[in-house]
Every structure is written in structure tokens, then in C-alpha cells.
Amino acid sequence: MAASSPQQSSASEVPTQQDFSPEPGFRPMSRLARWAMAIAWPAFVMAGVMEALVFAVVDPGDLTWFGAERMDLSRQAVYTLSFLIFWGVISLASSISLALATLPDALGPAHPRKWPQ
């Protein structure tokens, strides 16, 4: 049996960041791009789920403008507009959550009695 070379890793070792070398010309995503993807993609998926749940119960042909007259839109237009509205609202909620979760700590001096904490 041949001894393993030092370059080979055993199955129990966990690869580290140094084990992966980026390809030439590779640029990592900016912080803004990572945040946009962290907001836009899950919101897109959930907008699809919301649309399926809503239109499993509501018929787009029966929708009216605040109870007055029927909407003069095709079913596909109603589906498209509702998806975009759902996506926008869920994206807004996600971006507010991300902004609040990444706020820096308070910069002002602490209260003398350290209240409230």
C-alpha cells in the first residue's frame, strides 16, 4: 500500500477557504449585490407561493374595483400584476428586516445607570 502524499486530504478533514482558489478574473460579489440577492430571490419564491395560495381561493374573473365594477383585465394580467405586487411587498418587508438586523450599535454614550439595555 502506498503512503498518501501530503497534498491529499483525508476524508475527515474539512476543507478551508484556502483550499479553494478562485479562477483567474473572478471578482466576488459586492455587499450590495449579496444583499439584493438575499432579498430578491426569496421574495420571488414566496411571491409565487402567495399567488398560488390566493388564486386557489379567488377567481380573477370575479374581482371588482372596491365592489363597484368588474376589472377589465385578462386573467393573465391579473396574475402578473398580483405577482409583481406580492413580490414588491415581500421584498420591501425583507429589506426592512435586513436593514434593521444590520444596524450598528448605538454610538452615543451609555446611560449612567446603564438603563435601558
Give the integer Cα–Cα distance in Å for 5 and 10. Answer: 10
Is position 9 within any domain?
A: no
Is position 8 within any domain?
A: no
Is position 91 within any domain?
A: yes
Residue 54 in grid coordinates = 390566493
Give the integer Cα–Cα distance in Å for 39 and 17. Answer: 25
- The domain total for the chain is 1
Residue 89 has pLDDT above 90, yes or no: yes
Q: Which domain holds residue 85?
A: 44-102
Q: How far apart are the first and last CA of the chain?
A: 63
Percent of the chain with pLDDT over 90: 34
Is position 14 within any domain?
A: no
SS3 for the chain is: CCCCCCCCCCCCCCCCHHHCCCCCCCCCCCHHHHHHHHHHHHHHHHHHHHHHHHHHHCCHHHCECCCCCECCCCHHHHHHHHHHHHHHHHHHHHHHHHHHHCCCCCCCCCCCCCCCC
Q: Which residues pair with 64 in a beta bridge?
A: 70
Is position 50 within any domain?
A: yes
| 38-74 pLDDT, tens digit each | 899 999 999 999 999 999 998 888 888 787 788 888 8
- Phi/psi at 6 (5° precision): -65, -20
**Helix/strand number for the chain, H first, E second:** 2, 0
Is position 107 within any domain?
A: no
Q: What is the pLDDT of residue 110?
A: 63
The band of 25, judged by pLDDT with boundaries at 50, 70 and 90, is confident
> For the chain, what is the mean pLDDT?
80
User: What is the value of pTM for the model shown?
Assistant: 0.64
Is position 74 within any domain?
A: yes
Is position 53 within any domain?
A: yes
Rounded to an integer, the average pLDDT of 63-90 is: 89
